[in-house]
Structure 1
Amino acid sequence: MVAAAFGVGIVVGLTGMGGGALMTPILVLFFNVPPLTAVSSDLVASAVMKPVGSAVHLRRGTVNHQLVKWLAIGSIPSAFCGVLILKALGDDQSVQAGIKLALGIALMITAVLLVVRAYMRLVERARTRSGSGPLQPQGRPEVVPKVLQTLLLGVGGGLIVGMTSVGSGSIVIIGLMMIYPGLKASQLVGTDLLQAVPMVAAAALGHMLFGSLDFGITLPLIVGSIPGVYLGAQMSSRLSGGLVRRALAFVLLASALKMLGVDNLTTGTILLVALLVAPVLWMFLRRRYGFPALAWTEKRQRAESRRLAETATGSNTGQGGQESP
């Protein structure tokens, strides 16, 4: 469990996503933890882990505090209510099966939203480069909070997190992208990470009081996830976040299919089709929007352009230095 939590923590540190979406199904599928206990234990561990990432963004100033306020007003009570709904349903086998079904649906939604997020970013980059869309803000844009939409996003995200532990990162950040398209990526991640702290804390408190918390499971999760998140945050500047998110979407799809009770043959077939078709489709979309089919080709071109620009700047500086005397 410590090793699994360490790996999940690295993913969270790299992408800001995947905590509950990975850890809860790992507990259920690989460690045979009952779904309700897995949700309760993972949420309490996440409540300890989330502040690590949010503290970094607070220091960097990449947090919109107004959006955090309205999200928290909606998510804190709804996350706690999600626990009460589980408590009201009881703890028999049918409820455990219901939680497992809800987890599968939440995981499937999360995987789809990760793909939607990648596509939205691709279209956004294409429009910015062509001049047909607004330039991406270089500073920290002031946005006017859309109170009702932000509250509803907080309520929906909190309810899902309280019942399944899934969605504090992926679901809310996609909602923020749709409501506030002018926010920079760093602000989206920073705002989402900070708002997740009180949301997850409220859900964790509810599960400590009314859930099925097992400290024998929670403690290894905390021990493994904290250094994992820290290491992932350090690695985030060196590895491709896009590659990690694509791998995360694949794992989420696999977990969702198993949570939904899909048999092994069908699951394997779906995953194989996704593995073969998705890269080809993504390369087609990149070409359609004017980018090289492979991301590494684009990176190499950018690096070459920067090198040529630096060489030209150095040559001009040298010529200027010779002419100055």
Structure 2
Amino acid sequence: MGDLITLSALSVLVVSFGVGIVVGLTGMGGGALMTPALILLGINPAAAVANDLVAASVNKSVGAAVHWRTGSPNLRLAGLLMCTSVPFAFAGGFIVKSLGDEGAQTDFLTYAIGVALLFTAATYGLRMYLQLRHVTAGNRAPTTAPRLRPVPTLLIGAIGGLLVGITSVGSGSLIMVALLLLYPTLSAVKLVGTDLVQAVPLVLAAAVGHVLTEGVTWAVLIPLVLGGTPGTYLGSRMASWVSQSVIRRGIVIVLTLTGLKMLGVPPEIVGIVGAGLLLLGPLAWGWVRQTRGLPAFDNNLGAWRVDRERSGSD
């Protein structure tokens, strides 16, 4: 019991609460923020990935249950993704274990998570642009379900599952953006619902693979769940109070700088990149918005707006 009430456990509790708020505000998967945060707190990368995956499987189950009850997910699309994402995610823990001793695993995971964070930052920026493009293209969601494209969908599931299984990063960012590109007419509520439903067995399979090879650290897992759940709830309630555009740009900056740090980039370079993103990023985004006929500095809307009279059939 004493192991659960330590300064380290309290640090994890506070950080998971903060990450939960961000997840609730943006709908972004917490692995891209929580796993590197745990590593920066001094937790072994393999243990950070394993425990974050177990905690994420709990949190995502709650979100998926809500979307299942509202009927928003495209179950055929979710099932197709699961065909490849689940087995590849399960294999992640065994792949990491096969790399050798703890030192080799730490070096590989640190580098892999750094690359995954930079990739996630890029895909998250792309997601913002795609939403902006949908806003200016009419912002209307069709009532008919999109035609499934099995081969690219299975490929998305395999790549996303493998990335999540190894690093715990990607279930709420990479797969979401890939679905946006592949199924641009899928409404926002169905997109989020589909991603959450397929993410539950995906993350659960990845968690089982890592638990079998790495085990569970209760002093890390319990604060993750106790802090993340109320944080996500609070963030969801605060979502309408805070500028989503500013938050999303801030997340891209945080992911980029964290990824560079984990790749061993010198602090001076990281600082220069951070300053550039902080000062020039808003100007660049404002210019992009103006090219789409929108005000340079205004909250961007959701990807789709469904007519009130049509929402019941969507």
Q: Shorter-chain TM-score category?
A: 0.7 to 0.9
Aligned to 2:306: none
1:86 aligns with 2:96: yes
Paired residues of 1:43 and 1:200 also in contact (CA < 8 A): yes
In 1, Cα distance between the equivalents of 2:63 and 2:148? Answer: 23
Larger radius of gyration: 1
Q: 2:140 aligns with which of 136, 143, 152?
A: 136
Q: Give the counterpart letter for 2:285 in structure 1.
A: W
Q: Look up the match of 2:22.
A: 11
Question: Which residue does the alignment assign to 2:152?
Answer: 149
Q: Write the letter of the residue equivalent to 1:4.
A: V
Flag the structure with higher helix content. 1
The answer for unaligned runs of 5 or more in structure 2 is 1-11, 302-314
Contact 1:53 1:233 in 2 (8 A): no
* 2:52 partner letter: D
Contact 2:114–2:259 (8 Å) recurs in 1:
yes
Q: Which of the numbers 298, 308, 313 marks the counterpart of 1:295? A: 298
Q: Output aligned runs, 1:58-97, within 5 Å.
A: 58-97=68-107
- Shift of the alpha carbon at 1:186? 1.9
Matched residue SS, 2:147: coil
- Kept in 1, the 8 Å contact 2:287–2:296? The answer is yes
2:50 alignment counterpart: 40
Q: Which residue in 1 is equivalent to 2:269?
A: 266
Within a 5 Å distance, the mapping from 1:175-324 to structure 2 comes to 175-296=178-299
**Offset from partner CA, 1:118-171 (integer Å, 9 cap, x none):** 11222222232xxxxxx62164x3122211111111111010001000001000
Letter in 1 for 2:128: A
Structure 1 CA distance, aligned partners of 2:75 and 2:239?
Answer: 24
Deviations 1:208-259 (A, max 9, x none): 1112531211111011111112222233344333332222111111110111
Runs of 5+ consecutive residues of structure 1 not aligned to the other structure? 129-134, 300-325
Aligned residues: 290
TM-score (norm 1): 0.85
Q: Is the 8 A contact 1:13 1:53 kept in 2?
A: no
3-state SS of the aligned residue for 1:295?
Answer: coil
CA distance in 1, matches of 2:164, 2:269: 28
Alignment pair present for 1:116 and 2:120: no
- Counterpart CA distance in 2 for 1:57 and 1:243 is 26
Q: Distance in 2 between matches of 1:124 and 1:150?
A: 21
AA at the equivalent of 1:168: S
The Cα of 1:285 is off from its aligned counterpart by: 1.1
Equivalent pair of 2:142/2:185 in contact (CA under 8 Å): no
Q: Distance in 1 between matches of 2:120 and 2:136?
A: 24
- Give TM-score scaled by structure 2 length: 0.88
RMSD: 1.6
The letter of the residue matching 1:37 is A
Matched residues, percent identical? Answer: 44
Distance in 2, Cα, partners of 1:147 & 1:13: 31
- Asked if 1 retains the 8 angstrom alpha-carbon contact of 2:20 and 2:30, the reply is yes
CA distances 1:25-60 after superposition (whole Å, capped 9, x unpaired): 11111x111111111111111111111222222233
